[in-house]
Amino acid sequence: MKLSGPTVRRRRLGKKLRAMRDSQHLTLEDVAEKSDGTFTVAKLSRLELAKSAAKPADVEALLDLYGVDDAELRGAMLSLAREGAKRGWWHSYRGVLSPVYEDLISLEHEAAQVRACAMGVVPGLLQTGDYAREIITATAMSAAVAERIDPLVEVRLARQSVLTREHPVDLWAIIAESALRTTCTGDGVMRDQLSRLLDRGRRPNVTIQILPSDAPPHVGQMGSYSLLSFEEGVDLDVVHVESLTSALYVEEPEQVGVYRDAFERLRAAALSPELSAKRIAEIRDQTE
């Protein structure tokens, strides 16, 4: 399922509007009729499903229809509508980023926790600039991407601010050992990348586990993915699965639960954070 940003705020607002309507035992048709033509069933559905942005005036009208008098709640709902229209720093890179990549950055920006299963490469939130350049260059499958290497590296590094901001994202990364043994073309690139992992792993909001090469078959061998969670609860969790030519967002709670359970299996199969740090250091010391 493709999302369109600013995804999280829009989805939060839609779910709250749906909950308010349900609490009044109203159907979409009921609300459309009560609104005297202000809302159609199609428009209401788009707002609740986060397929279009809600204007503050629309939210205010719906709050009136639902009889919401709580000033604090009304203020919070209107704030969500206003903030949902704000643009993030990544919008300055429009023309460089695909809409799907913008969605990912928006989700990371709003997330409280990111759980990353990385089988082939170090997760983007933990990459150095030189390593990111090599990976982006190696995986560029079109001339258009190859011509945007510099700004794409800038964006990848800028994304990492979510780890160091005042209220940082909690990152738990499980990385296959084979990804740490990649032979990069630049001098010292992989060694510096491994040092970066050790440094980031010391942060209280970053946990890194390594899946050793001699581990028995595990669910991670089905592919990499990221699970993004938000303060409002598991019903907003999103899974991002990326392939060579596209990306998939999984939002259905039952399917998201499968990825959540898979991550717990991987945590159990991987080395502890302490042993993982030792393994990273050993590989780094063997790397030129």
* Residue with tokens 């939130």, as numbered in its chain: 125
H helix runs in 183-249, sequence order:
189-200
Q: What is the pLDDT of residue 131?
A: 97
Comparing 7-84 with 95-286, is the CATH topology the same? no
- Of 99-113, 235-249, 258-272, the range with the lowest mean pLDDT is 235-249
Q: What is the pLDDT of residue 3?
A: 45
pLDDT of 23 above 70: yes
Q: What is the pLDDT of residue 171?
A: 98
Q: What is the pLDDT of residue 136?
A: 93
pLDDT digit string (tens) for 244-257?
777 888 888 899 99
CA dist 229 and 266 (Å) reads 18
Fold for domain 95-286?
Answer: Endonuclease; Chain A (3.30.870)
Instruction: Judge whether 114 and 104 are in contact, CB under 8 Å.
Output: no
**Where are the domains positioned within the chain?**
7-84, 95-286
User: Which are the contacts of 151, defined by CB distance < 8 A and separation ≥ 6?
Assistant: 93, 96
pLDDT of 2 above 70: no
CA dist 108 and 152 (Å) reads 16
**Mean pLDDT, residues 41-69:** 90
pTM over 0.75: yes
Q: Which of the four pLDDT bands, split at 50, 70 and 90, describes residue 75?
A: confident
Question: Positive or negative, the Cα torsion across 133, 135, 138, 144?
Answer: negative
pLDDT of 85 above 70: no
CB atoms inside a 10 Å sphere around CB 233: 10
pLDDT digit string (tens) for 122-161?
999 999 999 999 999 998 877 777 789 999 999 999 999 9
pLDDT digit string (tens) for 254-284?
999 999 999 999 999 999 999 999 999 999 9
**CATH architecture label of 7-84:** Orthogonal Bundle (1.10)
